[in-house]
């Protein structure tokens, strides 16, 4: 359920071959891809890691350098809340606003603030460590949805 992005670090000596690889991997026109390559470290693709790894290999074979990073902006975190909230914002049981803990987006301060103002299990541990398992939490402790991220390094 995680999402990654493929970034082009260096187009290398063969821009035309790189464009061909990208044309095969993206739904973009050559014109769009050419303007993408003008950017500094363009984001080429987003998707599951296995998918990006194959494109990365193709790019490296053409002398380019590309890297894959976790891309939390592409996650549909509202889907995490679907089971515990009808509007995906508030707890279905008590109506409180749900807290979303998203790796690399939710800050340590936000986690600490949430832990201090909630009655969830291990609240004091979470407040002192500043870490919470990624997922969705009701501040009243009614519901917890743990997101599964086994492929984040
Ligand atoms: Zn609740």
**Ligand 1 centroid, distance to 129 Cα (angstroms):** 24
116 lies in some domain? yes
In the prediction, which pLDDT does 153 show? Answer: 52
Last residue of a domain, one of 73, 92, 123: 73
Last residue of a domain, one of 73, 105, 125: 73
Question: Is the model's pLDDT at 70 over the cut of 80?
Answer: yes
Question: Is the model's pLDDT at 149 over the cut of 80?
Answer: no
85 lies in some domain? yes
Q: In whole angstroms, what is the distance from residue 148 CA to residue 8 CA?
A: 27
Question: Is the model's pLDDT at 84 over the cut of 90?
Answer: yes
Q: Who surrounds ion ligand 1 at CB < 5 A? A: 91, 93-94, 96, 138, 140, 142
State the pTM of this model. Answer: 0.78
| Pair 55, 97 in one domain | no
153 lies in some domain? no
pLDDT (mean) for 52-75:
95
pLDDT (mean) for 96-122:
95
Residues 6+ apart with CB under 8 A from 20: none
**Ligand 1 centroid, distance to 98 Cα (angstroms):** 8
Q: How confident is the model at residue 2 (pLDDT cuts 50, 70, 90)?
A: confident
152 lies in some domain? no
Domain that holds residue 95: 76-146
């Amino acid at each position: 359920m995680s999402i990654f992005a493929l970034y082009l670090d260096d187009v290398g000596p063969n821009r035309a071959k790189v464009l061909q690889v990208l044309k095969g991997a993206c739904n973009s026109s050559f014109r769009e891809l050419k303007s993408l390559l003008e950017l500094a470290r363009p984001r080429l693709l987003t998707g599951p890691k296995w998918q990006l790894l194959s494109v990365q290999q193709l790019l490296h074979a053409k002398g380019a350098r590309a890297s894959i990073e976790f891309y939390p902006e592409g996650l549909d975190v509202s889907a995490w809340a679907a089971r515990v909230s009808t509007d995906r914002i508030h707890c279905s049981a008590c109506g409180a606003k749900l807290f979303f803990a998203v790796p690399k987006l939710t800050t340590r301060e936000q986690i600490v603030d949430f832990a201090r103002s909630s009655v969830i299990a291990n609240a004091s541990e979470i407040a002192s460590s500043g870490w919470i398992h990624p997922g969705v939490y009701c501040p009243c402790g009614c519901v917890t949805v743990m997101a599964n991220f086994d492929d984040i390094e």
